[in-house]
Structure 1
Amino acid sequence: MSFWRPMRKADIPAVAAISDAVHGAYTERPDIYGERLQLYPAGCWMLERAGKAQGYLISHPWRGDRPPRLNIPILAVPGGADHYYLHDLALLPEARGTGAAADAMRLVVDQANGAGFARIALTAVNGADAFWRKHGFLPAVGKMAYGGDSLAMERKTAE
């Protein structure tokens, strides 16, 4: 059995370890995850299965065509945000194929809708764009990504 629960400050070391295991060159420092939790706790979740952290989700309102820069604090959730940003969803291999990603997407869509956003954006890394397409995301024309093999993607909150 798995479940998503609100992230807590004590989860940050587990978040960083999962990110290191899943994201490779796109991982971030623990303080970045801690900042996102502090700034927008409603968008931060942990996946637990059998009492073990096996994934996390970080999302928040954002503004503009550029994603938040990697490993750089954002300092504040921007005023006048024009979309909801799915900053990071990471699942350890043992959590994949369990329905956890679909549950995470429901959390993100509910949060975005509740905050009044019609669009969710993300940056797919490490070839994850095929995964995101299955969840309704399409390449975002004219939007910036991180470079390399990353791809800016977006979807409407209502599908």
Structure 2
Amino acid sequence: MADLPAVAAISDAVHGAFTEAQPVYAERLALWPEGCHILETGEGVAGYLIAHPWRLGAPPALGAMLGALPAPADVYYLHDIALLPAARGTGAGAAALGLLLESAAAARLPLIELVAVNGADTYWRAQGFDTVAPGPYGPGSWLMRRPVNAPRSSKTAS
């Protein structure tokens, strides 16, 4: 919980119009701590990963409080991976993706879903995600999905 102000500050710095308030991150941590991780460097918190079980094809609204996780869930939803510029190119993104895959497998959910914004769909496509629909956050947002056991390789959007 002590890292939540840093998580909110990183979200503000990285996501611009797509940032969310600190209570959103606090709720995700309370609901599914298994999917919440931070990246620490000698300079402090430099990134985070937040993911949780959810409903396929129904990503939460930006900034929405969930109240509870669905039972049963049918997809592992990647709420967010955000890295400050100093953490990029260090392998932190690959490590976060590894944690995401492990957490989804541990939750016994076969698919991972996310909403890509700010041009991140290119990155996610290279990580094995397919574009399945326009995203719910307006122009330039994309709903993307991949099987947990899919290889990390470039794919063409479908």
Unaligned runs of 5+ in 2: 151-158
Query: Quick one: distance in 2 between partners of 1:29 and 1:108?
Result: 22
**Amino-acid identity (%):** 53
Query: Quick one: distance in 2 between partners of 1:124 and 1:144?
Result: 8
1:103 counterpart SS class: helix
Compute the displacement of 1:140 (Å).
1.5
Correspondence list, 1:106-145, <5 A: 106-141=98-133, 144-145=135-136
- 2:70 is matched with 78
The question of 1:155 aligning with 2:155 is answered: no
How many residues were matched structurally? 150
Unaligned runs of 5+ in 1: 1-8
Query: Quick one: distance in 2 between partners of 1:144 and 1:61?
Result: 19
**Higher relative contact order structure (alpha carbons within 8 Å, sequence separation ≥ 6):** 1
8 Å Cα contact 2:118/2:141 also seen in 1: yes
- 2:88 is matched with 96
1:73 counterpart SS class: coil
2:86 counterpart SS class: helix
Deviating above 3 A after TM superposition, structure 1's stretches of 4 or more consecutive aligned residues are: none
The residue identity in structure 2 corresponding to 1:75 is G
Cα deviation code 1:40-79 (max 9, x no counterpart): 0000000011151100000000013121111110001111
8 Å Cα contact 1:66/1:144 also seen in 2: no
8 Å Cα contact 2:38/2:45 also seen in 1: yes
TM-score, structure 2 normalization: 0.91
- 2:17 is matched with 25
Change (3 A) 1:64 1:144: farther
Specify which of 50, 59, 62 is matched with residue 54 of structure 2.
62
Query: Quick one: distance in 1 between partners of 2:110 and 2:64?
Result: 26
